[in-house]
Homo-oligomer: A and B are copies of this chain.
Amino acid sequence: MIPEPLSRVVSLLSRLPGVGEKSAQRFALFFAFAGPGLAAELGRALCQLHELVEPCSRCNNLAERSSEGPTVCEICRDTRRDDALLCVVAKVQDLFAIERSGAMRGRYYVLGKLLSPLDGIGPDELPLQALSDRVRGGVREVIIATPPSVDGEATALFIARELSALGAQVSRIASGVPHGGDLEFADQVTLGRAIDGRRSVDVP
């Protein structure tokens, strides 16, 4: 019923995370009726995306591809950041989230994956060599900001053990009840962590 060039767009859009057949059709029809400008502009931007953007050679964050020498992202180029403080994250989205918080003034390292026995990702798949080289190059403290999931915790523990042996101070981000969250609706594990990770209150 849907013309073939349009149904091709629908089937490609439905591969996006959280986008089903119906949303994909809604998006495709929006492109069809929004005039040729939007579809063509996004089309060109998508065709060029992988030519213009690639992972940073130092931290794996996404960066504009450099024509001269290795690609280095904006954060790695920023001279005002603390080279001795390194935050290890699972994926680029997590780096963006931490940057939005404004709480991290050091550098990052994006692992790109987590230990996951079920998905066949073992210690050999982690970029541990590159991370170790980075830490040896003058990092004082490593903050492990992998997610507080089973895979994230396992990865944090594994990395912490390897990096501590290099003499770096290794810390893990806190896990507990989120800001504005309701204790009544927090799950048991989160509450357990909030209690375990309690901090003494200094009364002035």
Q: Which residues of A contact B (CB under 8 A)?
A: 1-6, 8-9, 12-13, 15-19, 23, 25-27, 29-36, 38-50, 52-53, 62-64, 73-75, 92-93, 96, 99
30 of the cross-chain contacts (CB-CB < 8 Å) are A1-B96, A2-B96, A3-B62, A3-B63, A3-B73, A4-B64, A5-B45, A5-B49, A6-B53, A12-B41, A12-B42, A13-B42, A15-B34, A16-B27, A16-B30, A25-B93, A25-B96, A29-B62, A29-B93, A31-B49, A32-B62, A33-B92, A35-B50, A39-B47, A39-B49, A40-B47, A40-B50, A42-B43, A43-B49, A44-B47
Nearest CB to that of A26 among chain B residues?
A: B17
**With A3-B53, A93-B26, A96-B1 known to touch, is A12 a contact of B45 (CB < 8 Å)?**
yes
**With A32-B53, A42-B12, A62-B32 known to touch, is A48 a contact of B1 (CB < 8 Å)?**
no
- Is the Cβ of A53 less than 8 Å from the Cβ of B93? no
Measured in the bound complex, the distance between the Cα atoms of B32 and A115 in whole Å is 22
Chain A contact residues: over half helix, strand or loop, or mixed? helix
Measured in the bound complex, the distance between the Cα atoms of B10 and A41 in whole Å is 12
Instruction: Quickly give the copy total for this chain.
Output: 2
Measured in the bound complex, the distance between the Cα atoms of B33 and A38 in whole Å is 23
- Is the Cβ of B38 less than 8 Å from the Cβ of A15? yes
Nearest CB to that of A92 among chain B residues?
A: B29
- Is the Cβ of A64 less than 8 Å from the Cβ of B12? no
Query: Out of B40, B46, B75, B96, which one reaches A31, CB within 8 Å?
Result: B46
Measured in the bound complex, the distance between the Cα atoms of B16 and A112 in whole Å is 28
A78 to chain B, nearest CB (A): 10
Nearest CB to that of A64 among chain B residues?
A: B3
Measured in the bound complex, the distance between the Cα atoms of B74 and A84 in whole Å is 65
A47 to chain B, nearest CB (A): 4
Query: Out of B3, B26, B34, B62, which one reaches A6, CB within 8 Å?
Result: B62
- Chain B residues contacting A48 (CB-CB under 8 Å) are 5, 43
Measured in the bound complex, the distance between the Cα atoms of B26 and A57 in whole Å is 22
